Amino acid sequence: MLTQPSKFSQSRPYRKRISRWAIALTLILLASQGFLIWSFSQTPFIQAAPDLPTRVSASWRVGVAAIGEKPALIPTYPDAPVLFCDGVTASAQKALAEGVALLRATDEGAALYDIVVENGVCIGTQDLDFNSAYATSRWSPESGWSDSEIVIGDYYVDWLYPDVIAAILAHEATHIQRAVEGTACYYVNACTILPNGVVLEEEIVAHEAETLWWIAAYGRDGKDRAFAADVSENHLKAHYLQGPQAFRDYVREIRSDKREGEGL
């Protein structure tokens, strides 16, 4: 009886082998995670951060953004530096520049950006209470439209999603285009003003430009693995594909919030 091995003794060598494999796999996973963290820390977004806490905070956002689907567009960087408004941080400039490059990857986006550049419109950031961005068009006999600006909420820039920044730029640049070219509804007193002051016709046209850029980037199915603001872009695209009336109704719905314009 003593020479007969027990079930426990038979299983011990197997358990040791499993334990070694588990340790090896754990070490591999830790090494992979360490490499990814190091890789994220070397990106321009992180390197432009002014201090270590900001770099650590940005690193995980870069990691989340990297998981999502990449747009089917080749970034097209402008020949001249982007005109940033005063106070834009170095890390925000990197994110905005990547958004500009993606915006210019379509013919329509490139044309919109040309209008922004030709009229001296700066691109900036701001901590916005509700809106994702806004465009301000100012004209004077002395400087034309050069005091105009496009401002994007810090949240959207901090998340480091250049595709969402590009879509927002398409939206806001369309507002600038219609002001510069005199095609906005307010030139002919043909606007529908919502109770909160939003001009419905102008938002429909701007959201359409935003949606068409998104479709060019991700097709009619939208972006897979959307985790943050890109989910809203997918929703906008889905309603656009339902037809003009459905899109108009959806834009009216999302732009009727009483918080519109807070903090601008």
How many beta carbons lie within 10 A of that of residue 261, not counting itself? Answer: 15
- Residue spans of the domains in the chain: they are 44-254
Q: Please give the Cα distance from 105 to 125 (Å, whole number).
A: 22
Q: What local confidence, expressed as pLDDT, does residue 12 receive?
A: 36
When pLDDT is cut at 50, 70 and 90, the band that residue 13 belongs to is very low
Q: Which DSSP state fits 87?
A: T
Higher pLDDT, 52 or 231: 231
Q: What local confidence, expressed as pLDDT, does residue 52 receive?
A: 57
Its pTM stands at 0.78
Q: What local confidence, expressed as pLDDT, does residue 91 receive?
A: 84
Closest of 133, 123, 50, 117 to residue 86, by C-alpha: 123
Q: What local confidence, expressed as pLDDT, does residue 182 receive?
A: 95
Q: What local confidence, expressed as pLDDT, does residue 159 receive?
A: 73
Q: What is the pLDDT of residues 130-165, one digit of tens each?
A: 899 999 988 877 777 778 999 999 988 887 689 999
When pLDDT is cut at 50, 70 and 90, the band that residue 261 belongs to is confident
Asked if 123 and 152 touch (Cβ cutoff 8 Å), the reply is: yes
Give whole-number Cα distances, 29 to 5, 26, 68, 140, 148, in Å.
37, 5, 21, 60, 50
Q: What local confidence, expressed as pLDDT, does residue 47 receive?
A: 57
Residue range 219-243: mean pLDDT, rounded: 93
With a cut of 70, say whether residue 122 has pLDDT above it: yes
What does the mean pLDDT of the chain come to? Answer: 83
Q: Please give the Cα distance from 52 to 59 (Å, whole number).
A: 10
Q: What local confidence, expressed as pLDDT, does residue 69 receive?
A: 79
**Above pLDDT 90, what percent of the chain?**
58
Q: What local confidence, expressed as pLDDT, does residue 70 receive?
A: 86
Locus of tokens 């939003």? 198
Residue range 109-128: mean pLDDT, rounded: 96
Residues 6+ apart with CB under 8 A from 219: 72
Q: Is 43 exposed, middle or buried (0-12, 13-18, 19+ CB in 10 A)?
A: middle
